[in-house]
Structure 1
Amino acid sequence: MQNIFNFSAGPAMLPKEVMQQAQDEMLNWRGLGTSVMEVSHRGKPFIEVAEKAEADLRELLSIPCNYTVLFMQGGGRGQFSAVPMNISKQGGVSQHLLTGQWSVSAEAEARKYTKTEILAESALVDGKIVVPDQTLWSISDQADYFHYCTNETVDGVEIDWVPKSDNDAVPIVADMSSNILSKPLNIEEYGVIYAGAQKNIGPSGLALVIVRNDLIGIEREQTPSIFNYQLQAKSGSMYNTPPTFSWYLAGLVFEWLKTKGGLAKMAQRNQEKSELLYQQIDSTGFYKNNVHESFRSKMNVTFQLQDSSLDAMFLEQAESHGLVALKGHRAVGGMRASIYNAMPLEGVQALAGFMKEFERKHG
């Protein structure tokens, strides 16, 4: 079987070791003669899975005890609504930094529940996408919360700094769906962190929420129970039947990350992978990337061929070499290589080598 490297932006590839373990346990999990998908979420065996997954996640991210971890449904988009319903008051204000499709979508959803204020937007400067520095805008202490997306998958834009409010009174809410667990974090800089699972956590169907405890219990009366942080916290994220298989696989991914040396080691690997790919893109001018170097994503490397008439051939030949899912998002075109934690260095090396050979033949 040909070695396939899957560069899908999401649902994305999972670590091979994790998939192998899940396969081995599929029909007879823990000697029970059943799959983990077939046991009660309230039974002792699955409760142990849930508790270990949270403990491993807390260890990986150094989550303080004054933060609650929730395993919820609805993906990242569900949190676009859950956040304002849980931490903003009726008629309140949410402030937003817009850097791509996902932060734009979050603002549009928040508009249903709050008065939204757009503080700044990414822009093209000399043909490159740039995120305005916070010296050019400020977070009002009258806002209920400030929202931004740390990594935009469509355009390949990542923000490595954390916005601050003047008096630290405004909760910082971060959509980390596509770069959580890719590097260490200082959790205490945030009020709420949320992430859809299908990039760096596990399969789709699960949303991870890390929320500071003082932001729990202030939800609006009309907040649906399924999205209510307080109800989910009190029930151990089991107010309803959770996506148990996704939760189980997420726990295996957390274990895998620990065996790989944790998030500091993962950050080094991700830096090496992204540098290799950007060096290939920048080397001759045959390829181009339109994001300023300060904001280039380490998770989603976008690029275009100078001659776009070669796009279809590039994708077809890449796939024949086992390099799949490289087509860019329909909104921007070009190519996109998503190189999340599970993508091995060998996959990026194979892509860079193919790009070099393709350029040699068609440049």
Structure 2
Amino acid sequence: MPEEVITTIKREFENNERSHMSIIEISHRSKKFQHIITSAEQKLRQLMQIPDDYAVVFLQGGGSMQFEMMPLNLATKQRNIAVLDSGNFSKKAEEAARQVGKNTAILDSTKDQHYQKLPVVPSNFNASVFDYLHIVTNSTIEGAAFHQNNLPQTTGRLIADMSSNILAEPYNISDFDAVFAGGQKNLGPAGVTVAIIKKDWLADQDLTGVGPMMRYQNHIDKQSMYNTSPVFSIYALDLVLAWVLDQGGVTEMYRRNLEKSGKLYAYLDQSNFYTAPVEKSARSITNIVFTTGDIQRDKVIAQQAEAAGLFNLAGHRSVGGFRASLYNAQPTDAVDALIAFLQKVEQNA
């Protein structure tokens, strides 16, 4: 999270907005919280240019809950879901959809290529027999991303899990029928999830057998306060959104993220010691994955990085290597420090 936001939270934590109560004490039914949640929605709509015919709702349960809520609410006609498997989280979404009784089809997977390139929609894909196509715009673990200029083409409905790169780069929301994102990357702390869904699609569903807590419409009708909302997380999210707006919006975040990731990729590509294996057109600007090619050496270097004050450089346990996560709040100075460290390691190898 941005340092400015953390500073504000510290300042307001005990006595927020002259209410004489901490943000973690106020009621989610209070006027003060209603102002916060309304403000957060307005800011998100402005930042992402969300049209009026899309609903915005703040939920609990993380992005993983959406692996079940989306199919339960939006796959009631054909009961069929198509998936492009670009990594761990697209596979988890496919598995969850099957568990809640939907038929799933993985149209293409790049697992055999270690997810170093993006899957594609087959030429014989018949969108009419599926309720929607599910993609993950940014594969946090594997480092491949669908950007606005390489989104899969489909005549059917498209759902995107944007948990790790929402607000990091521009997307045209009108190209999607639903989008969701866990809060803990670019939106704020863990505990809140955003779902953005086309209203007419929600209205055209048979929700027989779907419990009240799992129905989007119930949460939308109650302005994300159908049950006790994650008050603190939404409060912090509102502050983060205000910070993004003050910085210049998604356009400025994108410029900075291109600069940060560009610096790191440029160094890795010229190095004879490190390799960034993801195909260039598919590279994430949020999670940069690389390796020396030696698992044990990578582990040692990750430990050395932590001793040097560069934390969490080790890649996910399922892939190893390194992962530099350049979320919006990560300053360019941090990238410069990482490159200097990597250069020193390479020189001493």
TM-score normalised by length of structure 2: 0.95
2:329 aligned with 1:342 = yes
Q: Which residue of 2 aligns with 1:188?
A: 174
- Of the candidates 295, 318, 330, which is equivalent to residue 331 of structure 1? 318
After superposition, give the CA deviation of every residue in 1:106-127 in whole Å (9 maximum; x if it has no partner).
00111122111111112556x8
2:105 aligned with 1:117 = yes
2:183 aligned with 1:197 = yes
SS of residue matched to 1:81: helix
State the 1:171 CA deviation: 1.7
After superposition, give the CA deviation of every residue in 1:61-113 in whole Å (9 maximum; x if it has no partner).
00000000000011110000000110111661111100100000000111122
Counterpart Cα distance in 2 of 1:90 and 1:124:
32
Bigger strand share: 1
Write the letter of the residue equivalent to 1:63.
I
Q: Which residue of 2 aligns with 1:213?
A: 199
Counterpart Cα distance in 1 of 2:115 and 2:163:
24
State the 1:312 CA deviation: 3.1
Counterpart Cα distance in 1 of 2:334 and 2:126:
41
2:33 aligned with 1:68 = no
State the 1:219 CA deviation: 4.8
For the aligned residue pairs, the C-alpha RMSD in angstroms reads: 1.6
Q: Which residue of 2 aligns with 1:163?
A: 152
Name which structure has the greater RCO, CA cutoff 8 Å, separation 6+. 1
Counterpart Cα distance in 2 of 1:47 and 1:219:
30
Write the letter of the residue equivalent to 2:39.
K
Counterpart Cα distance in 1 of 2:34 and 2:206:
27
State the 1:143 CA deviation: 0.8
State the 1:129 CA deviation: 1.8
Counterpart Cα distance in 2 of 1:59 and 1:313:
45
- Of the candidates 147, 164, 167, which is equivalent to residue 178 of structure 1? 164
Q: Which residue of 2 aligns with 1:5?
A: none
Q: Gapped runs of 5+ residues in structure 2?
A: none
How many residue pairs end up in the alignment? Answer: 345
- Please, which moves more after superposition, 266-275 or 130-139? 130-139
Q: Which residue of 2 aligns with 1:4?
A: none
- Please, which moves more after superposition, 141-150 or 96-105? 141-150
* 8 A Cα contact 1:302 1:336, kept in partner: yes
Counterpart Cα distance in 2 of 1:286 and 1:298:
21
Percent identity between the two aligned chains: 37
Write the letter of the residue equivalent to 2:144.
V
Note closer, same or farther for the CA distance 1:359–1:211 as it changes in structure 2 (3 Å cut).
same
Counterpart Cα distance in 2 of 1:105 and 1:117:
13
State the 1:162 CA deviation: 2.2
SS of residue matched to 2:89: helix
Q: Gapped runs of 5+ residues in structure 1?
A: 1-13
Write the letter of the residue equivalent to 1:85.
L
After superposition, give the CA deviation of every residue in 1:259-317 in whole Å (9 maximum; x if it has no partner).
10000111010001111111121222201122111111111111111343322331222
SS of residue matched to 1:221: coil
- Please, which moves more after superposition, 318-327 or 300-309? 300-309
Write the letter of the residue equivalent to 1:221.
T
SS of residue matched to 1:152: coil
* 8 A Cα contact 2:86 2:115, kept in partner: no
2:302 aligned with 1:315 = yes
TM-score normalised by length of structure 1: 0.91
State the 1:319 CA deviation: 1.2
SS of residue matched to 2:277: coil
SS of residue matched to 2:129: coil
Q: Which residue of 2 aligns with 1:353?
A: 340
* 8 A Cα contact 2:189 2:233, kept in partner: yes
After superposition, give the CA deviation of every residue in 1:230-271 in whole Å (9 maximum; x if it has no partner).
101100011000100000000000000001000011101000
